[in-house]
Amino acid sequence: MATGVTYYLSCWYKSSEIGVRTATFFSAAAIAGSFGGLLAAAIALMDGIGGRPGWAWIFIIEGLVTVLAGFASWWLVFDWPETARFLSADDKIRVQRRLVTDRQGKTAEGFDKRYMYEALKDWKTYGYMVIYMGCLVPLYAFSLFLPTIVQGMGYTGTQAQLLTVPPYVCAAVITIAVGFFADHTRYRGYCNMATVTVGMIGFALLLSSSNIKIQYAGTFLGAAGIYPTVRD
């Protein structure tokens, strides 16, 4: 999904404008994580309604919203600027002209398979795959196991859900800030190096310390290091 969204944004914005917008999109994942904890804590109070436990209502309600959003995207998401109903004829021309002057455009049309074969033969393609995998594994490990990490600190139930919120909020703010900085300075590589280092320190604190406060600080650093890195 991440690669697809980045490509989709490139069909609408210049290369110097994509970073902060990609960051805004990925910050939504962090914000969703924060609100997910609050929402889960609230929905869990529905325990017993309809004869179902609280955790079952979490799956039912959040799953239903996801399905409805998926159906709505069919009418809300437009492939190209010239097919967007919310743009006037002049605006469509203006958007396309900006992309052409930035040497971008609809690369999906007139696709040449030779480029795909050249990419498959380039060793850098596989190097980037390994690097990106190294970013995604800790990202999903963090998002899936943060409640478990907090419970391991001795917190349970609603309190554990609420304590998962602040690290995600921190991650969302840092992601947008790094995206804005990277767009204006073009130092994307340096930004990735810095955020990866922060994430490594966070995970090191989680692994090496049994102090609850240090572990919780590690979740902040881990989130602040992972989300901006995936964004870039």
Task: Look up residue 55 and give its two tokens.
Answer: 């955790």
C-alpha–C-alpha distance, residues 135 and 88, integer Å: 40
Task: Look up residue 98 and give its two tokens.
Answer: 């900006």
CB 207 within 8 A of CB 7: no
- How confident is the prediction along the chain (232 residues), in pLDDT tens digits per residue? 566 777 788 888 887 777 778 878 877 777 776 677 677 778 878 888 888 888 888 888 888 988 998 899 888 888 788 888 888 888 888 888 888 777 655 544 555 678 788 888 899 989 988 888 888 888 888 877 787 778 777 777 667 777 888 888 888 888 888 888 888 888 888 888 899 999 999 989 888 888 888 888 888 998 888 888 876 5
Cβ density class 30-54: b for 16+ within 10 Å, e for less: bbebbebbebbbebbebeeeeeeeb
C-alpha–C-alpha distance, residues 232 and 227, integer Å: 9
Give the amino acid at 162: L
78 half-sphere exposure, CB direction, 13 A CA radius: 10
Would you list the DSSP string of 141-165? HHHHHHHHHHHHTT--HHHHHHHTH
Alpha helix stretches (DSSP H) within the chain: 2-10, 15-43, 54-76, 89-101, 113-121, 123-152, 157-163, 165-185, 188-208, 212-231
C-alpha–C-alpha distance, residues 141 and 157, integer Å: 20
| Torsional sign, CA 217, 218, 223, 226 | positive
Question: What does pTM read for this prediction?
Answer: 0.69
| Torsional sign, CA 146, 169, 206, 209 | negative
Per residue in 61-74, pLDDT (tens digit) is: 888 988 998 899 88
In degrees and rounded to multiples of 5, residue 105 shows phi and psi of 165, -165
Give the amino acid at 72: A
The full set of domain ranges for the chain reads 2-46+112-231
